[in-house]
Structure 1
């Protein structure tokens, strides 16, 4: 096993480690032993032969990854599988899959017996750099993305980069969408690093932000950079656009909107597009989706406050750095969106 990097997430009531590197999944038995776990349910989107032996009695629960399965019905099915597996509050759940799996299984773990330990084994780049870390768990409703959820921190996260070797190019691009936006929220330009170091840098940034604001009361809003429009694009295309692709467009839009508001200069605006394009990510809106539809979906964003009727809320760059900007005029938002070209979902070779 090559050297595995460790990032500690230090919270007020709960600390845990994120391990990143080739073979990280093989740390699972030691992690479970340290947690004192007697039995686990391995909720997995990968073949059983790719799962590590947890070293304790276990039940494999198959899961279908993807946004279409990120539902309350899935949460119920997992909880019923936990009952069949005989899990008690002293046992644990292991979530092995992409970001939709860690989100959905994490919520099931938060609800089962009012909270059971969960260990994440993220298998996609998107999940490794972002979704599996930070304790946000949620599922979608027909009305919007991530509208039902809970904060439930994992007991450990094992980011085995070997999972990424066979990842389809488009899934890698989705992860790069989160890496690209990290450049504007404190991580700096990560393009010169190898993939493992990009993951480590992204997780280190997120760990530092979550440590300061576990429950989205302030600084953690910066992690939503590019996500307000990104989530709207996902929903408007019925998730035909991947999360990272949509966030990439949202990042370009955030730069343009900040420029139109006079918060940043044109060089900084151009830097957003250049960063996204350099990763091979889209910088256009999905064809066939009216601007009015995107604006309506953004009205449902979770960040809006009690004065939400006064406009939209975005996380934007500015003279004081990235911050939450409320009451942005919808006509201005529509005008900026109208300036973006449109096209099909990316189809990388």
Structure 2
């Protein structure tokens, strides 16, 4: 299969996202093109899956997962960069899932006030969304992605060969982000080959990032389903993975928009049908507490002007998806109460 290339157009900081089998083997050429002299590779995958860099290389072990998406890990990486003698003329490469690309991206953004980074995302979730767009962040106990920076990569290599070893749950996890793309402009991606699903999702994100790199307006649509999704991750202690939580959040966004009269019943039902078609759960986990969810949603990083009477969501409507502020809390509670419940069993 031919490798697909999507360009994120950002002027002098534009870069390519290469998608398809064997894409990781373009790494040496990418590093040569950016003029790197040495490279630190931070990998959550076995050494044999790390491609040749063509440069003096220091390989550092990482571990995917929210528990390691912390400022402590960023410090560990930066100190090891320093021990290796990494300079601003060198580069950093991440190999792993979305938590790894986020954490390594932030370390690269901070070290020497910014060193080139190339991402090799190895999960469907990371290839579809997390590795593209330049948002890097780690978590605090108070919320998801509260400490971060915008730092665009020099390239992203989405090698679909990496996906062959993913367990079923990780495939479904990635489909959570693909499902939400259905409602923000990517069209119906159901039934397409995975390379086409990834390319369409990345192409949509690239166009949005090119128009609004730093979340001044349009880029908010990429957070569709994420307000409740992030709250579910935190309140379940990350028992729900990111894409699973975003799937539920997407269903909720449709129900809330319907409750507010922004969309009709057919569009509400479409949210549940699309999410379910990817094998994702569509209900809140048993035991989900509305008070706890609302408390976390109030701290969501999109809520820059929250009043005590309302919350902020990205919602569908007659003019399409947009950021909606001051959604009344009683409406949020009513939509949560109307959500089906589901027993989530770790796989």
1:127 aligns with 2:116: no
Name the counterpart of 1:56.
55
Indicate the SS of the match to 1:308.
Answer: coil
Deviation per CA, 1:79-132: give whole Å up to 9, x if none: 011011111000000000000000000000000000000000000000000000
CA distance in 2 between partners of 1:306 and 1:317 (Å): 20
Name the counterpart of 2:98.
99
CA distance in 1 between partners of 2:340 and 2:175 (Å): 21
Name the counterpart of 1:301.
300
Name the counterpart of 1:251.
250
Deviation per CA, 1:198-241: give whole Å up to 9, x if none: 00000000000000000000000000000000000000011110
Indicate the SS of the match to 2:209.
Answer: helix
Q: Which runs of 5+ in 1 are unaligned?
A: none
Name the counterpart of 1:274.
273
CA distance in 2 between partners of 1:243 and 1:201 (Å): 20
CA distance in 2 between partners of 1:310 and 1:152 (Å): 35
CA distance in 1 between partners of 2:138 and 2:18 (Å): 26
What is the aligned residue count? 347
Indicate the SS of the match to 1:309.
Answer: coil
Deviation per CA, 1:56-77: give whole Å up to 9, x if none: 0000000011001000000000
* Aligned pairs for 1:1-349 within 5 A: 2-347=1-346
Indicate the SS of the match to 1:81.
Answer: helix
On the 8 A contact 1:286/1:343 being kept in 2, the answer is yes
Indicate the SS of the match to 2:308.
Answer: helix
Q: Which runs of 5+ in 2 are unaligned?
A: none
Give the TM-score of the pair, scaled to structure 1. 0.98
Indicate the SS of the match to 2:110.
Answer: helix
On the 8 A contact 1:93/1:118 being kept in 2, the answer is yes
CA distance in 1 between partners of 2:161 and 2:115 (Å): 28
Return 178-187 or 334-343, whichever deviates more: 334-343
Deviation per CA, 1:309-342: give whole Å up to 9, x if none: 3410000000100000100011110111011122
Deviation per CA, 1:179-216: give whole Å up to 9, x if none: 00000000011002111100000000000000000000
Deviation at 1:308, TM superposition (A): 3.3
CA distance in 1 between partners of 2:25 and 2:230 (Å): 34
Indicate the SS of the match to 1:109.
Answer: helix
Deviation at 1:346, TM superposition (A): 4.7
CA distance in 1 between partners of 2:311 and 2:345 (Å): 28
Return 8-17 or 220-229, whichever deviates more: 8-17
On the 8 A contact 1:316/1:325 being kept in 2, the answer is yes
On the 8 A contact 1:19/1:159 being kept in 2, the answer is yes
CA distance in 1 between partners of 2:136 and 2:285 (Å): 27
On the 8 A contact 1:230/1:247 being kept in 2, the answer is yes
On the 8 A contact 2:254/2:267 being kept in 1, the answer is yes
On the 8 A contact 1:282/1:346 being kept in 2, the answer is no
Deviation at 1:307, TM superposition (A): 4.0
Deviation per CA, 1:276-313: give whole Å up to 9, x if none: 01111011112222111111110000111224334100
On the 8 A contact 2:306/2:312 being kept in 1, the answer is no
